[in-house]
Amino acid sequence: MRAVIQAVSSASVRVNGGEPRPIGPGLVILLGVKDTDTLDIVPKLAEKCAGLRIFKDENDKLNLSAKDLGYSALVVSQFTLYGDTKKGFRPSFIKAARPPLAVDAYELFLAEINKQGLKDVQHGEFGADMQVSLVNEGPCTIVIDTDEWHKGENKP
């Protein structure tokens, strides 16, 4: 799985033209699921996202997490995170998980991020038309790729 995380002052998502689902300070998390992912990594990914120390403390150091501050999160499914453009300019999405796995992983991530003690978790809907608006908290975008957790391990 891959999570692209942006620290924000505020954000919202509008799903299928409906009412905006806003958050205050916190995280926007774009979540991508690859065809080789398994659900066992989801709890750890949610914990990592909520615990990232990317917000300033009283000494102006990046030592606080959204969890520490009771901030919010906006989670949006993003299959395009696995676009492959090696063959040209049109991306291929072959490595993106098919809906049964992707939906299960997305729903499990939402449940797990809700357990992390954040003030509010808003979300998009898998496969819907979504417009995301955000005001970022400075130049801080983090990418967590769970494939990196397995480097150096013997994989079957």
46-83 pLDDT, tens digit per residue, is 999 999 999 999 999 999 999 999 999 999 998 666 67
Residue 155 lies in a domain: no
Report the CATH number at residue 143: 3.50.80.10
In a domain, 154, yes or no: no
pLDDT band at 150 (very low <50, low <70, confident <90, very high): low
Task: Examine the residue annotation and report whether 146 is marked as an active-site residue of this protein.
Answer: no
For residue 111, what is the enclosing H or E element?
helix 99-114
Cβ burial of 118 (10 Å; 0-12, 13-18, 19+) is buried
Kindly name the residue from 36, 38, 80, 141 that is annotated as catalytic: 80
Per the structure, the count of domains in the chain is: 1
Q: pTM, whole model, 2 decimals? A: 0.89
**Inside any domain, residue 35:** yes
What's the pLDDT at 71? 97
DSSP lists the bridge partners of residue 29 as 5, 75
For 26, the domain range is 2-147
Residues 6 or more apart in contact with residue 11 via CB below 8 angstroms: 22, 23, 26, 28, 74, 132, 133, 134, 135
Decide if 152 is inside a domain. Answer: no
pLDDT value of position 156: 46
Contact 133, 6 (CB under 8 A): no
10 Å Cβ neighbour count for 103?
A: 16
